[in-house]
């Protein structure tokens, strides 16, 4: 387990795991808002975190909102770097056919803390070969 310092605004709800096996903590909105079909909206959570070095926080959509209303995140997963200290905000999008209303404190996303491995890039003249090679975008299926 990793300890993550957190600050909450007056309108914020403490992120929480809903079950013992949950990978993500639910994030709640700190404001009331509505989102129309195909609209994008930057939504505040009132949460600020200090992710420890060697980790990142990822913001992800909630499957129930996606299934029931077509609500997702535009950049999913969104990355919160260890040196960011601003408010955690989500870029929601409504892929559904109806406007969706949210109340302050409603769950709108998930927060997952993940380890990060930094890479050292080495420029080479040629890459090693594989059976797949450069095939992509459906090249392994029919």
Quick: pLDDT tens for 44-87.
Answer: 999 999 999 999 999 999 999 999 999 999 999 999 999 999 99
Computed over every residue of the chain, the mean pLDDT equals 95
Classified as helix, coil or strand, 64 is helix
Domains of the chain, CATH where assigned:
6-115 (2.70.40.10)
Classified as helix, coil or strand, 83 is coil
Residue 105 pairs with which residues in a beta bridge?
A: none
Query: Is residue 118 predicted with pLDDT exceeding 70?
Result: yes
Residue 83 pairs with which residues in a beta bridge?
A: none
Query: Is residue 142 predicted with pLDDT exceeding 70?
Result: no
State pTM to two decimals: 0.88
pLDDT at res. 133: 84
pLDDT at res. 140: 72
CA atoms of 101 and 78, how far apart (whole Å): 23
pLDDT at res. 136: 82
CA atoms of 26 and 9, how far apart (whole Å): 16
Contacts of 102 (CB under 8 A, 6+ apart): 29, 32, 33, 34, 35, 43, 108
């Amino acid at each position: 387990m990793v300890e993550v310092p957190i600050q909450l605004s007056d309108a914020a709800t403490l992120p929480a795991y809903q079950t013992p096996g949950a990978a993500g903590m639910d994030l709640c909105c700190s404001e009331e808002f509505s989102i129309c079909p195909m609209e994008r909206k930057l939504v505040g959570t009132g949460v600020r975190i200090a992710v420890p070095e060697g980790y990142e926080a990822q913001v992800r959509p909630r499957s129930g909102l996606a299934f029931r209303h077509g609500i997702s995140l535009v950049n999913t997963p969104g990355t919160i770097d260890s040196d960011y200290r601003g408010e955690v905000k989500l870029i929601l999008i409504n892929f559904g056919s109806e406007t969706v209303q949210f109340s302050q404190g409603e769950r709108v996303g998930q927060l997952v803390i993940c380890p990060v491995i930094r890479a050292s890039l080495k420029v080479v003249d040629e890459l090693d070969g594989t059976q797949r090679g450069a095939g992509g975008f459906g090249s392994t299926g029919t």
